């Protein structure tokens, strides 16, 4: 069996090893693959691993030897599942490997916003503290989290992990979820979406991207929010309307936005959020702690091994 990894760099930029996978089959590793090179690189392989490289129906039709696609992520929208199924190609993913890392990033953004860590660190690099007449200086209000209301939209694995951290900080947690109120852990209260927008100080997005949730943060919902509201998005970029959110930030209709995702990635220079007031963006790295990437590779190896043994696991096109 031959395995081709189409975009190995983001998962493993060199600090981890593919050795366990190489013990299972011959492996060709490409750091990045352009759309024009996908077919030529996959042509002789029975197994292909991809993170973000698209394998659409047209490409799959050109790969009659292909038996297995391993998506190196939880989301598998980069693969045409219907065509894969027609060709009897098994498709697997890597579920829940980065739950704790993504929940942690929620609070990296939130604590930066309420504590102004980035701002003060940069001021001190420029000599501000050294020139201060007092032992400290304060030109931005700082806020405690305890007692504030946090609304969590979507209470899957990451939403639940975020809620548990929020409770430890003393936040009052409200969730928009399909789960029954009686099934929620103590301290997490089920709430309506409008109530979350109108009453919560912090709103964290963890829902899947669907037709119903696309642009769930928009001009109308932003106008419902408090002027001190903070929105955190570690879910999907298109959950927010970039232009309408940037306008609300610049007009100080809400306090701040922290996000690890954008509608188009890598970021387009024209995206208004890049220069919006009180907007803090990280480059889609919440998932990428070394521990999460180790789990990803370990699960990838387990998926490949199970397929080779004839008992595939984590299959998404049953």
Task: Show the tokens assigned to 290.
Answer: 């070394």
Dist CA 71 CA 49 (whole Å): 6
Set 19, 144, 252, 265: catalytic member: 265
Q: 274: how many CB neighbours lie within 10 A of its CB?
A: 14
Is 236 one of the catalytic residues?
yes
Dist CA 165 CA 103 (whole Å): 8
Set 206, 236, 293, 295: catalytic member: 236
Dist CA 153 CA 205 (whole Å): 5
Set 206, 284, 293, 295: catalytic member: 284
The bridge status of strand 149-153 relative to strand 47-50 is unpaired
CA 299 to chain centre: 18
The sign one gets for the Cα dihedral 42, 288, 93, 86 is negative
Radius of gyration (C-alpha) of the chain in whole angstroms:
22
Is 295 one of the catalytic residues?
no
Contact assessment for residue 55 and residue 69, using Cβ atoms and an 8 Å cutoff: yes
Is 82 one of the catalytic residues?
no
DSSP state of 274: G
Dist CA 105 CA 92 (whole Å): 26
Structural element, H or E, at residue 245 = helix 242-250
Number of H helices, E strands in the chain: 11, 12
Structural element, H or E, at residue 202 = strand 202-205
Structural element, H or E, at residue 151 = strand 149-153
Active site residues: 236, 265, 284
């Amino acid at each position: 069996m031959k395995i081709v990894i189409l975009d190995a760099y983001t998962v493993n930029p060199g600090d981890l090893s593919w050795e366990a996978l190489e013990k299972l089959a011959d492996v060709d590793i490409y750091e990045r693959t352009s759309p024009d090179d996908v077919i030529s690189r996959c042509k002789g392989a029975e197994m292909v691993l991809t993170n973000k490289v698209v394998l659409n129906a047209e490409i799959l039709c050109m790969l009659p030897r292909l038996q297995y696609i391993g998506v190196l992520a939880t989301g598998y929208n980069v693969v045409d599942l219907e065509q894969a199924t027609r060709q009897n190609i098994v498709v697997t993913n890597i579920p829940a490997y980065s739950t704790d890392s993504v929940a942690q990033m929620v609070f990296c953004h939130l604590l930066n916003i309420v504590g102004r860590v980035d701002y003060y660190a940069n001021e001190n690099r420029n000599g501000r503290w050294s020139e201060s007449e007092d032992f400290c200086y304060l030109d931005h209000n700082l806020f405690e989290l305890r007692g504030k209301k946090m609304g969590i939209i979507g209470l899957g694995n990451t939403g639940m992990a975020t809620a548990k951290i929020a409770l430890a900080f003393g936040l009052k947690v409200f969730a928009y979820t399909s789960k029954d109120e009686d099934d929620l852990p103590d301290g997490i209260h089920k709430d309506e979406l409008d109530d979350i927008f109108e009453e919560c100080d912090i709103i964290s997005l963890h829902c899947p991207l669907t037709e119903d949730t696309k642009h769930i943060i928009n001009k109308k919902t932003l106008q419902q929010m408090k002027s001190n509201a903070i929105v955190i998005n570690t879910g999907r970029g298109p959950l927010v309307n970039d232009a309408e959110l940037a306008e609300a930030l610049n007009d100080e209709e809400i306090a701040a936005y922290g996000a690890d995702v954008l509608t188009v990635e890598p970021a387009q220079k024209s995206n208004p959020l890049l220069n919006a007031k009180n907007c803090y963006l990280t480059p889609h790295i919440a998932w990428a702690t070394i521990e999460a990437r180790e789990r990803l590779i370990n699960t990838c190896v387990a998926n490949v091994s199970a397929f080779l043994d004839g008992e595939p696991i984590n299959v998404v096109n049953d």
